[in-house]
Amino acid sequence: MTNPLLELQKQGQSVWYDNIDRAQLASGQFKKMLTEDGILGVTANPTIFEKSISSGHSYDDQMSLLIQKGKSTNEIYEELVITDIQTVADLLRPIYDRTEGKDGYVSLEVSPELAHDTQGTIHEAARFWKMVNRPNLMIKIPATPEGIPAVYETLRSGINVNITLIFSIESYRAVTDAYLRALEERNGEGHDISSLASVASFFVSRVDTLVDKLLEDKIKATNDAKLKSLEGKAAIANARLVYHDFKSIFSTPRFESLKHAGAHVQRPLWASTSTKNPAYRDVLYAEELVGPDTVDTMPLETINNFRDHGKVRYSIEDDIPAAHQTFEELEKLGISYKQVTQQLLDEGVQKFADSFHQLFKGIDSKKQAIAEGQIAH
């Protein structure tokens, strides 16, 4: 039986793995996913590292060593994460070489503390790029108003960028413009632009989580059961409208001249594609957003589910008029697209910041436990 994950490649979609776990790297499970499931890249974020580092004991030896050397909590965090990122980058390097820089990337996020600090983000992106020292690294920068100028500057300096936490079409357009301006600048200065890569990470399921909650409140208030038909529609509609934009932006004369100079399109990456609502099909978002020049980054559960029962078809451009209609109906009900996407961006930044603080607490408590153990010893 054909693996549906491999079938996605025939539709022009790359599957990246939304997780880094040292235990999986050590056991060979990750390598197996590359060969058997056709995984072509990896993304991670502070929440993922917080779970990996705080659960289990895969990081204990390196952590003990760093504690003995008197490293600070921040230094310990960076060394642990950069070790993983370099390991994954090296495992993905053959894919990067084979696909001529289209796939084979691993992403490392700047500190969520810098989400509203343009200069701090630019500085940290450059520092991480130098520390990791791998051509198949992408630095993750959030699509906040302060993040977008940092995206432009970072790309302009020749560093690959994965722009994260995009929820609105307006943000998406700002992100593509930053990419095109950076390419134009580099090309004008005579730099090679064929090796610069970027993806625009557009978050999916969280849109339904919030919109469905607002719809449930409306149903309770009005007793209008008809509103139920709008549940589970906003996220896919939003992503499809973004893809529609992507196709028009990257077929303009502006991009054509850059393409002629070797530029790659900035692919939309579907993030948060696990299904949060148990009432929906567990591979809903993965199945409904299939199309060329896209990336779907999936957590392990979604990968397993899709391998088992995912149906592959060209779905990304299904019923664009219905996507527009969904948002028209929501606006009529007083559910504002602008407010929803702004709230999701604010919550996304906060969620990553909370995970970051939690991770630092976890490192501190391990430092204390190891120090107490040494004293007892």
140 labelled catalytic:
yes
Active-site entry in 140, 233, 366, 367: 140
Q: What is the DSSP letter of 227?
A: G
Judged by DSSP in three states, 333 sits in coil
- CA-nearest of 4, 6, 30, 16 to 294 is 16
Say how many CA atoms lie within 13 Å of 101 toward its Cβ: 15
Q: Which tokens is 122 given? A: 């630019």
DSSP state for residue 101 in the 8-state scheme: T
CB burial of 56-69 (b: ≥16 within 10 Å; e: otherwise) equals eebbeeebeebbee
Please list the alpha-helical segments (H only) found in the chain.
Answer: 4-10, 22-27, 29-36, 46-54, 60-68, 73-98, 118-132, 147-156, 169-188, 205-222, 234-249, 253-260, 284-288, 300-309, 320-332, 337-376
Q: Which of 341, 112, 363 is nearest to 238 (CA)?
A: 341
Would you name the residues annotated as active-site residues? 140
